[in-house]
């Protein structure tokens, strides 16, 4: 993975690197590998993840077809950030 440092702004590059790692799931994998996971627990976890993915895909499909209302848009202030 690679991040460019522009104008010696290491803080900005570090934030970009963390964002990329978060998207790739590296932090989640590191947390999962801290302790041993029994094969039975792994099967149960993966089955639950598959169910969540299937439900999410079905929900998105229903929204595209108009069977469910679309999620509400979050408000953004003048700075481009979300109000608390």
Distance (Å, whole) CA 73 – CA 70 = 9
Give the pLDDT mean for 45-70: 94
* Distance between CA atoms of residues 65 and 42, nearest Å: 35
Higher pLDDT, 73 or 83: 73
49: in domain: yes
Is 4 part of any domain? Answer: no
Average pLDDT estimate for 50-79 = 89
Number of domains in the chain: 1
Residue 54 belongs to domain spanning: 10-64
In a domain, residue 58? The reply is yes
Q: Is residue 77 in some structural domain?
A: no
Q: Is the pLDDT of residue 84 over 70?
A: no
pLDDT tens-digit series, residues 27-52: 999 999 999 999 999 999 999 999 99
Choose between 78 and 13: higher pLDDT: 13
Sign of CA dihedral 72, 83, 52, 19: positive
């Amino acid at each position: 993975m690679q991040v460019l440092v522009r104008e010696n702004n290491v803080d900005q590059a570090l934030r970009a690197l963390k964002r990329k790692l978060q998207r790739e799931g590296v932090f989640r994998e590191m947390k999962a590998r801290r302790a041993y996971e029994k094969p039975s627990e792994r099967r149960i976890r993966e089955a639950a993840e598959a169910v969540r993915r299937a439900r999410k895909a079905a929900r998105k499909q229903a929204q595209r077809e108009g069977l469910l209302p679309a999620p509400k848009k979050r408000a953004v202030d003048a700075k481009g950030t979300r109000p608390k």
